[in-house]
Structure 1
Amino acid sequence: MTVVTPVRESSSRLPRAFWALWVCQLVNRLGSFVQPFLVLYLTQGRGLSAGTAGAVAAAVGAGSVVSQLVGGWLSDRVGRRRTMLVGFFGTAAALILLGSARSMELIWVAAFTVGLMGDLFRPAVQATVADLLQPGERVRAYGLLFWAINLGFSVSTVSAGVLANIGFGLLFWINAGTSVVAALVIWSMVPETRPVVEQASRRPLLPVALRDTTFLLMILLQIGYATIYFQGYSTLPLAMSGDGLPNSTYGLVIALNGLVIVVVQPFVSRYLTKLDRPKLLATSMLIVGLGFGVGAVVSTWWGYALSVVVWTVGEIGFAAVIGAVFADLAPVDLRGGYLGLAGSMSFGLGSVIGPIVGTNSLEHLGATTTWLACGVLGVVLFAGQLALAPALHARAAGTASAEAAT
């Protein structure tokens, strides 16, 4: 198999194309108005029942799971740049269709298409960063992208509430507009970085990935992490309500997640690049588990706020390094597919498993048991990730050697 990789920057300054991706992520998140308000739009603007609106929102989620698989495959087959352009332009069209749809059939189709197009760019962006940068620079780069996402989302959640009062239709059009702007940034500033692979030597993704034991174990650990993480958006509001706290308090408490990330991330990103990646990943998952475990002994707003701050610190470490770890695992010719499969299987499945397991545990076992289980799972993930560290180090060294030789 012959693989020709692009020339990558090796200085401490990140390349112009990376900052274009950073701007793209920020703009895209600044306009992410529709999904947080989709259920309200469907119930208030379209008169659907809460159950039907929730099912439509689930259709968006189903599209997102498929999206990363498709996006990873496309980024390896047709190119990173083309995949991102299709994703952003396609998202704009799907949002406009969803905002104007009247029949339930069209609403279902448009909702699934929004999910399908909306996450198409993610593995392509991650693969482009890995193509552009040396392995030692990737932690910093992925951390900066994570910060841009949270900065944009923090602003959008506030402004979306104001815009929704003017009219839900405005949310769809502005969200679509920011997707177009993101596409234009890619079009004008991001080159194609996909390594050139001889067609005769191109390998199929799944047969390679399914034989990759280290990769599969990593996905299993990340499903566990995502199961804990999504308690913050499913079980936590129910637990706080059960303690007699109003819904507005949950909104303020969960807003600390974005605030802490925006404030802390820029100051720790360079420090995180110096740490051992598997150990940082293990420690971060432990902190997230213990942060949720704090919920077992609190019942006040400030107690829950402390819990959110603790698990957000863990999230910062996790988000900074996870992309780099999976990039180290990925064969160069299957990088996009590996990253897409990792995102779809870990967070895709975790976003389904977490809310189901957490809410049922809360209902049948109680809040204390549910939060203690999160803490215990965090300890298990910590031990599992440390046990996998030697294999991850070996793969990272092998990937770096292979990239240096091309």
Structure 2
Amino acid sequence: MDRFSFIGDPFGVYALEAMAAATTGYLGGLVSDRVGRRQTIGIAWCGEAMANEPQRLMAATYSSESFWSSSRAQGPGLAATSAMVGDLVLKHRRESAYGTLHVVTNAGYLIGPPLSGLILKTNHWGMFFVFVAGLGLIAATFEFAFLPKESGVDGGSLSPSQHNQWAILQDKPFMLLLVSTFAGFVVYTAYEVILPIDYLWQPGDFSP
């Protein structure tokens, strides 16, 4: 974190990261609407893998540019992954499909951090970035191999008003889900990310 002195503290890093995530996620959804989910997801995972290689080579002089490029390269892919369920799954099966996607995402949050921690115990950041880049390439390979080229099982049935991006504000169940998800991530990020970093950054604040 000392290398991000231009921001002032680690919380500035996460503030910029959150704003960048919102921007790339939204733009990723727009791009995937036009070029297709399959291409967007594959390019995003490949982009993340390639962005991690400069970090491996520059591990001794970690740069802010490589941090932002790797962390945000995945944004469009994440947006397209969620939208893909609506494209490829029949309407009556979408609830269970989104549930499956949620379970897989939670499994990643559960397994990823401790696995990364085990790798970092070797005190070798280069190995960590190679590992992350390898996972990105594997994900892109599976995506190109198994996802269909065509999308949309019944997307053509939507009326022009339903294609309006602001129509989502009228979907009360979705807005409730959006607000609850936001609240959940606030709690998750505060306890799982910010609190440990704050303890390492300013341990005196936690004295009895």
- Say whether the fold is shared (TM-score over 0.5): yes
Task: Kindly indicate whether the alpha-carbon contact (under 8 Å) linking 1:99 and 1:172 is maintained by their aligned counterparts in 2.
Answer: yes
The residue that corresponds to 1:121 in the other structure is 77
| Residue 148 (structure 2) pairs with residue 184 (structure 1) | no
1:60 to 17, 23, 35: 17
| TM-score normalised over the length of structure 1 | 0.40
**Greater Cα offset, 83-92 or 50-59:** 50-59
User: Alpha-carbon deviation of 1:184?
Assistant: 0.4
* Counterpart-to-counterpart distance in 2, 1:50 and 1:237: 18
User: Alpha-carbon deviation of 1:49?
Assistant: 9.2
Unaligned runs of 5+ in 2: 154-159, 201-208
| Residue 5 (structure 2) pairs with residue 85 (structure 1) | no
* Counterpart-to-counterpart distance in 1, 2:93 and 2:194: 40
Q: Which has the larger radius of gyration?
A: 1
| TM-score normalised over the length of structure 2 | 0.72
User: Alpha-carbon deviation of 1:58?
Assistant: 4.0
The residue that corresponds to 2:109 in the other structure is 153
Correspondence list, 1:200-215, <5 A: 208-210=164-166, 213-215=169-171
The residue that corresponds to 1:137 in the other structure is 93
* Counterpart-to-counterpart distance in 1, 2:52 and 2:143: 20
| Residue 181 (structure 2) pairs with residue 222 (structure 1) | no
Task: Kindly indicate whether the alpha-carbon contact (under 8 Å) linking 2:59 and 2:125 is maintained by their aligned counterparts in 1.
Answer: no
Correspondence list, 1:324-363, <5 A: none
The residue that corresponds to 1:165 in the other structure is 121
Q: For the structure 1 residues 107 and 126, does the alpha-carbon distance in structure 2 shift closer, same or farther, using more than 3 Å as the test?
A: same
Q: For the structure 1 residues 111 and 84, does the alpha-carbon distance in structure 2 shift closer, same or farther, using more than 3 Å as the test?
A: same
Task: Kindly indicate whether the alpha-carbon contact (under 8 Å) linking 2:44 and 2:74 is maintained by their aligned counterparts in 1.
Answer: yes
* Counterpart-to-counterpart distance in 2, 1:225 and 1:180: 29
Identity over aligned pairs, percent: 21
User: Alpha-carbon deviation of 1:111?
Assistant: 2.5
Task: Kindly indicate whether the alpha-carbon contact (under 8 Å) linking 1:210 and 1:216 is maintained by their aligned counterparts in 2.
Answer: no
User: Alpha-carbon deviation of 1:90?
Assistant: 0.6
Letter in 2 for 1:81: R
The residue that corresponds to 2:204 in the other structure is none
1:111 to 53, 64, 67: 67
User: Deviations 1:73-106 (Å, cap 9, x if unpaired)?
Assistant: 11110111110111001111122234444799x8
Q: For the structure 1 residues 176 and 216, does the alpha-carbon distance in structure 2 shift closer, same or farther, using more than 3 Å as the test?
A: farther
Q: Say which SS state the counterpart of residue 120 (structure 2) adopts.
A: helix
* Counterpart-to-counterpart distance in 1, 2:28 and 2:40: 7
* Counterpart-to-counterpart distance in 1, 2:46 and 2:193: 35
The residue that corresponds to 2:206 in the other structure is none
User: Deviations 1:373-400 (Å, cap 9, x if unpaired)?
Assistant: xxxxxxxxxxxxxxxxxxxxxxxxxxxx
User: Deviations 1:286-332 (Å, cap 9, x if unpaired)?
Assistant: xxxxxxxxxxxxxxxxxxxxxxxxxxxxxxxxxxxxxxxxxxxxxxx
* Counterpart-to-counterpart distance in 2, 1:129 and 1:60: 26
Task: Kindly indicate whether the alpha-carbon contact (under 8 Å) linking 2:56 and 2:127 is maintained by their aligned counterparts in 1.
Answer: no
The residue that corresponds to 1:74 in the other structure is 31
* Counterpart-to-counterpart distance in 2, 1:136 and 1:71: 26
User: Alpha-carbon deviation of 1:63?
Assistant: 2.6
User: Alpha-carbon deviation of 1:232?
Assistant: 3.3
Q: How many residues end up aligned between the 2 structures?
A: 189
Task: Kindly indicate whether the alpha-carbon contact (under 8 Å) linking 1:94 and 1:110 is maintained by their aligned counterparts in 2.
Answer: yes
Q: For the structure 1 residues 238 and 124, does the alpha-carbon distance in structure 2 shift closer, same or farther, using more than 3 Å as the test?
A: closer
Unaligned runs of 5+ in 1: 1-41, 197-202, 240-245, 248-406
User: Alpha-carbon deviation of 1:123?
Assistant: 2.6
Correspondence list, 1:315-394, <5 A: none
